[in-house]
């Protein structure tokens, strides 16, 4: 049990990282705001000489989308949380 407590304390200490640059925070939070707009996903269809045809797909839904959060508000609060400052630019949403 003591080893688990030491491991947890070490993990928490490692989280004390400097905040990201405003540009990096804007990029990270822009992705989160885009995910708040609606489901995301991709589809891959192809063929190869060994196995023939194939189909892959994935769908993602963010918790912000499920809560009905405003993507702009998601972006602004994310940047503020990461940097302690308001965003340096508006998000580029699709």
Mean pLDDT of the chain: 87
For 2, the 3-state DSSP assignment is helix
Note the pLDDT tens digit of each residue in 12-44: 555 677 889 999 999 999 999 999 999 989 999
Query: Please, are residues 75 and 32 in contact by the beta-carbon 8 Å criterion?
Result: yes
Q: What is the pTM of this model?
A: 0.69
Q: How many CB atoms within 10 Å of residue 64?
A: 19
Task: Say yes or no to pLDDT of 62 above 60.
Answer: yes
Alpha-carbon span 7 to 62, nearest angstrom: 30
pLDDT average, residue stretch 40-64: 93
Model confidence band, residue 94 (pLDDT cutoffs 50, 70, 90) = confident
């Amino acid at each position: 049990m003591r080893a688990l407590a030491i491991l947890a304390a070490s993990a928490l200490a490692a989280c004390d990282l400097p905040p990201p640059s405003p540009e990096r925070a804007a990029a990270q939070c822009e992705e989160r705001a885009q995910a708040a707009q609606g489901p995301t996903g991709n589809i891959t269809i192809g063929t190869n000489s060994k196995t023939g045809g194939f189909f892959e797909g994935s769908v993602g839904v963010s918790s912000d989308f499920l809560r009905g959060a405003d993507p702009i508000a998601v972006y602004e609060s994310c940047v503020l949380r990461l940097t302690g400052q308001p965003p340096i630019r508006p998000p580029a949403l699709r």
